[in-house]
Structure 1
């Protein structure tokens, strides 16, 4: 660990080194500020032609971000609601091929990649069909609707030889990358605990999405929507507010916990927890939904070659009177990190003398002067993205497109994505069955 601490102190850079020789009162009162930066590289000359399958809120946001990249063309859009197809035409042009049958898109030879932005219950089927059709796939999180589907997607991906990226976009953030670097350098010592919190306090944030006035069996292909699930009469609430229902969504855990799992696993190189427990309740949104609006999860991570054993707690609240907050905090025996997508706040739990050789040598010179104060590192360092940072969502797509063009790899392939999705989905199982769930993250199966 001494080697790691030396590396950490050296890598603080000029600002960090300056703080280490500043008076202690200054270091305590003035957190050191450093700036994170992103430089994109790689071949972007080859034009990639994409299609969107599922043109709701997240699918549309994904496509807008994808089109910010050079030499990306949108050729087709699929959705089961007429209004979204018309919105796509108005937004992106009359040239678009519009359809309610995603298979029509997969048959086209001129499409290199598809964005799957459908409700969760269609992720597996469409992703597997797209891979089998020779398309590269960007699928929104969680990758699957149930843990039984994970291995099928992984096998289809491996067999296809295509690129598949899952859309926990925060994974590609500057904040995550800095946190991973700091942890590896020993900045907080050995991890022993982590916690994440995702809170909201608005109707839309609680999945109360608006219902269009023209919603009807004539404008919505309801039979196709429910095809993989329970047969029932047309219900506009279920179609447009699908996250509230277990047939189509995966609750708070599948929507939000999965982001936190993805970031944590990336930062720590973890494969996942071995024990999972959840509790919560429906405290406010008494609107017929089948999933809780407050959810707490507890997870046990075993010791591995990558990290010491630690525990994780996750919380989600859809009626947070403080207006909501989101964070991932990682705690070690020497400090902690608050990790955001564009910022990392590193806090040392105490000021300990530096073991950097430079400072050790200087200390030796004054060893006879007992009243000489030692030089100490700062208690807090804040790393912030530079102005002009385009964000994690942009960088996630940059990784995807670079991998396609250069036969590379992505940060969130199906295997990584399933290891993040599984404990989130098992939260639901624990909650509804009122029991602990044991999971084998290496083999990706119940144990």
Structure 2
């Protein structure tokens, strides 16, 4: 009997929430249990000198986050718009080397690694150029602009012996790590279904980015910008609001679905779906954009060694009154998990059996002795795991993972293979939408069937 109780207490840490990385616990008035998630700091002993290529919203956020880490400095910046180069010096110092040609960055011996925050259409080429030049790479998601580009980047990375990280920063969140642990422990049983939702309403969130008054052909290197795509006359919207156009961006799926794919694949150890379909439309933002502002995706994940077969639905909405709802829900045979970067809420089905061996043994003894059934103490049906306030965030930890790998020759959570497997079904959503058809994908060989 004592052995059973000890086994239960040991198992409690996984099945009802007290994980090794989350020792602090408190109970709410409703009986729901809540746990604090923690992350350890990493030591930094080797200087890392960065260059930023693309000083847009994410390039700036990435650089600010990277510079919060010890022994990391910024030495050079590349952008095609004069205004952003001037702004870079104001933000990060007069010492910076500035250029509109990324090749000038890659020639510099004082650059160890680059952050690529350009439009999606330039991710592949600059990543390959940087790897070939012997630089470590942090490339914003999606890793590539089309599925045809994936193999080239992977080959360049494998041949370079450098560290490349793809920037779906939520992958390094405490929420994703806890959800992965709970799923592997069987907390919700076998996965059968998952769904994700991402919504925005503000003009900037819906890609109505500011167009500066001085943004013109004299301050922007337009010819370089369009040199790897269709030749067009100068268009400030296509430069400053590039996400709205297929020549440069990858739509809602490439910008936002890819985050949800990254989290789901990390939590489930999945390579990806075998069938992709999507539909949607341009419902609100009548601004000449070429991509929908409402998008729905449906995906079929086959059974394999990592997980049972399950289905996934994703939704993205730029016409939303919730001011930015985001979540990933994973549903299993025993319950479900609502997963955010800083929180996981585990919900058990009302008919889910208790995993408490002590209680099971007591029930067997009563049944064998003919005793009348007695009321039981039930485990909480809802358990919440929340990141500690001192946690510096998924973005900070994602860069920490990259820097540690650079310093130790280790691996990263989102290398180009993982990054491509997350990007591919997102990019195929666009093909399904515009071609109005189902698309079959081989997630292991990473090829369209």
Question: Common fold, TM-score beyond 0.5?
Answer: yes
Q: How many angstroms apart in 2 are the aligned matches of 1:281 and 1:12?
A: 42
Call closer, same or farther: CA 1:115–1:5 in 2, change over 3 Å. farther
Q: After superposition, where does 1:230-245 map in structure 2 within 5 Å? A: 230-245=230-245
Q: How many angstroms apart in 1 are the aligned matches of 2:18 and 2:401?
A: 30
2:14 to 11, 14, 20: 11
Which shifted more, 112-121 or 350-359? 350-359
Which shifted more, 316-325 or 294-303? 316-325
Call closer, same or farther: CA 1:232–1:7 in 2, change over 3 Å. farther
Shift of 1:351: 4.6
Shift of 1:363: 4.3
Shift of 1:158: 0.2
Shift of 1:110: 1.4
Shift of 1:56: 0.6
Contact 2:15/2:182 (<8 A) preserved: no
Counterpart of 1:413 in structure 2 is 415
Contact 1:302/1:309 (<8 A) preserved: yes
Q: After superposition, where does 1:89-100 map in structure 2 within 5 Å? A: 89-100=89-100
Contact 1:5/1:185 (<8 A) preserved: no
Shift of 1:264: 0.2
Counterpart of 1:21 in structure 2 is none
Q: How many angstroms apart in 2 are the aligned matches of 1:27 and 1:362?
A: 28
Shift of 1:359: 2.8
Q: How many angstroms apart in 2 are the aligned matches of 1:389 and 1:27?
A: 22
Shift of 1:378: 1.1
Shift of 1:40: 2.0
Cα-to-partner distance string for 1:122-168 (whole Å, 9 max, x where unaligned): 00000000000000000000000000100000000000000000000
1:434 to 433, 436, 440: 436
Counterpart of 1:445 in structure 2 is 447
Contact 1:351/1:376 (<8 A) preserved: no
Contact 1:27/1:379 (<8 A) preserved: no
Number of corresponding residues: 434
Q: How many angstroms apart in 1 are the aligned matches of 2:8 and 2:401?
A: 31
Secondary structure of the 2:312 match is: strand
The TM-score normalised by the length of structure 1 is 0.94
Contact 1:15/1:32 (<8 A) preserved: no
Counterpart of 1:130 in structure 2 is 130
Cα-to-partner distance string for 1:248-270 (whole Å, 9 max, x where unaligned): 00000000000000000000000
Q: How many angstroms apart in 2 are the aligned matches of 1:243 and 1:12?
A: 43
Q: How many angstroms apart in 2 are the aligned matches of 1:231 and 1:349?
A: 57
Counterpart of 2:276 in structure 1 is 276
Contact 1:276/1:436 (<8 A) preserved: yes
Shift of 1:375: 2.8
Q: How many angstroms apart in 2 are the aligned matches of 1:313 and 1:6?
A: 37
Contact 2:165/2:416 (<8 A) preserved: yes
Shift of 1:358: 2.8
RMSD: 1.9
Q: How many angstroms apart in 2 are the aligned matches of 1:91 and 1:105?
A: 19
Instruction: Verify: 1:163 aligned to 2:163, yes or no.
Output: yes
Shift of 1:107: 0.3
Cα-to-partner distance string for 1:375-425 (whole Å, 9 max, x where unaligned): 322100000001111000000000000000000000000000000000000
Counterpart of 1:115 in structure 2 is 115
Secondary structure of the 2:232 match is: coil
Shift of 1:373: 1.1
Contact 1:353/1:376 (<8 A) preserved: no
Secondary structure of the 1:11 match is: helix
Cα-to-partner distance string for 1:316-343 (whole Å, 9 max, x where unaligned): 0001123331000000011000000000
1:374 to 376, 379, 389: 376
Counterpart of 2:203 in structure 1 is 203
- Unaligned stretches of 5+ in structure 2? 1-6, 20-26
Call closer, same or farther: CA 1:442–1:149 in 2, change over 3 Å. same
Secondary structure of the 1:425 match is: helix
Contact 1:439/1:445 (<8 A) preserved: yes
Counterpart of 2:139 in structure 1 is 139
Shift of 1:352: 3.8
- Unaligned stretches of 5+ in structure 1? 17-25
Q: How many angstroms apart in 1 are the aligned matches of 2:329 and 2:10?
A: 22
Counterpart of 2:34 in structure 1 is 33
Shift of 1:45: 1.2
The TM-score normalised by the length of structure 2 is 0.93
Cα-to-partner distance string for 1:215-236 (whole Å, 9 max, x where unaligned): 1101000000001011111111
1:389 to 377, 388, 391: 391
Q: How many angstroms apart in 1 are the aligned matches of 2:374 and 2:231?
A: 79
